[in-house]
Structure 1
Amino acid sequence: MTLPARMKLLQIEAPGHAAWKDAPLPQPAAGEVLIRVLGVSTCPHWDMHIFDGQPMFPGMKLEYPYLPGQPGHEAMGEVVALGADVTKLRVGDHVVAWRDTGKPRRGFYAQFNTFHENDLLVLPATLSPAAVASLELAMCVEVSFQQLAALGGPLGRIGLSGLGPAGLVAVQLAKAHGASEVIAFDPVAERRALALTLGADRALAPDAAQWPASRQSDALDNAIDLTGVPPAIEFLMDRTRRCVTLFGVLREQVRFGTQHLFGPGLILSGYGDHNRAAAETALRFIVEGKLHLAPLITQTMPFTRYAEAVDLLRRKQAIKILFDPWA
């Protein structure tokens, strides 16, 4: 294809204000490829924090105008040009970003973006943007299952706290990894209903009266918290025999008490490292039909409606928004 000299990209110029504007077409550096972006999905907490002028992580420094194309990182597209020394990809390959390195650089909220070939996976051309753009999220959640797998033994009955995008992915990954029962907790009835359609055996409100605290009778074998909220984490800790692993961004302290020391002692596990094996596992589950990301997409929008999209996320009227850079 003939490449244009210019393109459109999104830039958050100040808290609460984003512009869809002209920019030069980027050129791939050594080891990079140029991607024509076909679809990119929101990462709700990133979008809400950055658009609202709040740090995503404690101590994070924000400067505006924010980096062009950021915080877009859940993206798929087609390789249209190669930089020097590229050996793994070819023009025409459909690819998906499997990790965000965290280094300051342009993001995928754009019509084109450059990315290092090591940070991309080749896709079957039949996979739609909705089906695979959020692979990076699935990779992140798969890391928590790697943490549990490192302990050995079956998952058994697993509890999942929080049914945002990560929790809905975790429901499916738990089934794909052979959990005997998946019990999901969330206060929002609509998200509990969606979790049931995606494979949860039970979806409950985190109500202590409905599920009294006990690490003995009727307890969970393992659990993953996907909220980062101490009451949600402690709810799982009080009802889990072996391990609670943390996925959500933790901003406050969690109480580990005497009730967690014995019978046997509860393991409270932190997060692991993003890795290609986790991404490849998630992609394999997508191809095998065990992981469905399209149901997480509430709506597809053009970037000219970015502020509206973030507001839908903020009011929990959308789980994820898929942006079409060409709409």
Structure 2
Amino acid sequence: MQAAFLPGDSTVELREVERPVPGHGQMLVEVRASTICGSDIRAIYREHLGTGAEAYQGVVGGHEPCGVVVETGPGVAERAVGDRVVVYHISGCGLCAECREGYQIACTSPRRAAHGWQRDGGHAEYLLAEERDLVVLPDALSFVDGACVACGFGTAYEAVVRAQVSGRDRVLVTGLGPVGLAAGLLARRLGATTVVGSDPVTERREFALSIGAVTDVHEPGTPVPGAPFTVAVDASGNGAAQLTALTSLGRWGRCVLVGEGASLSVEDVSAVVIHPSLTVHGSWVTSLPRMAELLERLVEWDLHPEVVVTDRFPLADASTAYAAAAAGRTGKVVIEPQSGVRL
């Protein structure tokens, strides 16, 4: 089968590899959609920056896969051939407190392995996954919807739930890439009538307005319309934007930081954080139960995450797909390994 690898230096390498065979408790998933995450660009595609949990081990790329189970190994208990599934992209030890709560993302065992980082990911025709790491995709949602949930929408949902967003809130989202777009869409579904999106890229601000992710937009360097806010979500991974998120909050405001890779400098912590009595959350991806909950909510809300997708490519054009995502002017970019199969 064909698979895409990320050797660094902003390149993608297509190779022919053996189709994997499921072992005990494993399932073979025919990948129908595999979206590109900003972390893939930041820490793997351009150069291999990560260590530990973010160390890329030369595996098949892509940690946001969704598809159909086509083969099962011995010991599989609940999933079956034909099931439509979203893959939770971190496979933990299954024994620590974090894994038992469904937060495999926080597993610190040496056995922890993330798809697309330490074990083969979704940029291939087939993916080998543990049964315990699969979540059923409702029939009302597309495979592209599911791939968007596998990391981006799951991360955004964790953030807005942590912030307890409701109809009483005015929300600022800094960074209108795919996670920021998801945060805006989800905040609005949770009742927020005011959601302002901030981003330096004109195309991204316009796209956010066009899909209803935000009610107004902000260009950095100008006054933020609607401030002060009760909730701010930073999805930019940019220190200046994170500071804007904090300083745009009113007293008792809640801020959630999900964008990675930034250096945040606060000149006067007392004035910015302590005296306004802010609550600041760091939020890293989401849990299996929360992901399953989100999939159910998306059906109830009639919200399709694929609304944030602007570009689709076959696996053979994975290099072009990554170049588009790395340019930072698109919404979500999706790779569809099974060419000719309706998603």
Residue 106 (structure 1) aligned with residue 120 (structure 2): yes
- 1:280 aligned residue: 292
Matched-pair identity in %: 24
- 1:141 aligned residue: 156
Q: 5 Å matches for 1:59-70?
A: 61-62=55-56, 66-67=58-59, 69-70=60-61
- Structure 1 CA distance for aligned equivalents of residues 53 and 312 of structure 2: 33
- 2:192 aligned residue: 179
Q: 5 Å matches for 1:164-313?
A: 164-196=177-209, 197-208=211-222, 210-211=223-224, 218-241=227-250, 242-255=253-266, 257-261=269-273, 264-271=276-283, 274-313=286-325
Deviation at 1:132, TM superposition (A): 2.3
The count of aligned residue pairs is 310
Deviation at 1:73, TM superposition (A): 1.4
Deviations 1:253-291 (A, max 9, x none): 331523225654222222256212321232123222443
- Structure 1 CA distance for aligned equivalents of residues 285 and 313 of structure 2: 32
- 1:159 aligned residue: 172
Residue 18 (structure 1) aligned with residue 12 (structure 2): yes
Q: Is the 8 A contact 1:161 1:186 kept in 2?
A: yes
Q: 1:287 to 1:153 in 2, by over 3 A?
A: closer
Matched position secondary structure for 1:133: helix
Gaps of 5+ in 1: 1-6
What is the one-letter code of the residue matched to 1:231?
A
Matched position secondary structure for 2:78: coil
Calculate the TM-score normalised by the size of structure 2: 0.82
Q: 5 Å matches for 1:19-98?
A: 19-47=13-41, 49-56=43-50, 61-62=55-56, 66-67=58-59, 69-70=60-61, 72-98=62-88
Structure index of larger Rg: 1
- Structure 1 CA distance for aligned equivalents of residues 302 and 231 of structure 2: 21
Deviations 1:171-206 (A, max 9, x none): 111012222321111122222222223241212213
Provide the alpha-carbon RMSD of the alignment. 2.5
Q: Is the 8 A contact 1:99 1:274 kept in 2?
A: no
Gaps of 5+ in 2: 92-111
Deviations 1:85-106 (A, max 9, x none): 2112011111111333461211
Deviation at 1:43, TM superposition (A): 1.0
Greater mean deviation of Cα atoms: 89-98 or 40-49: 40-49
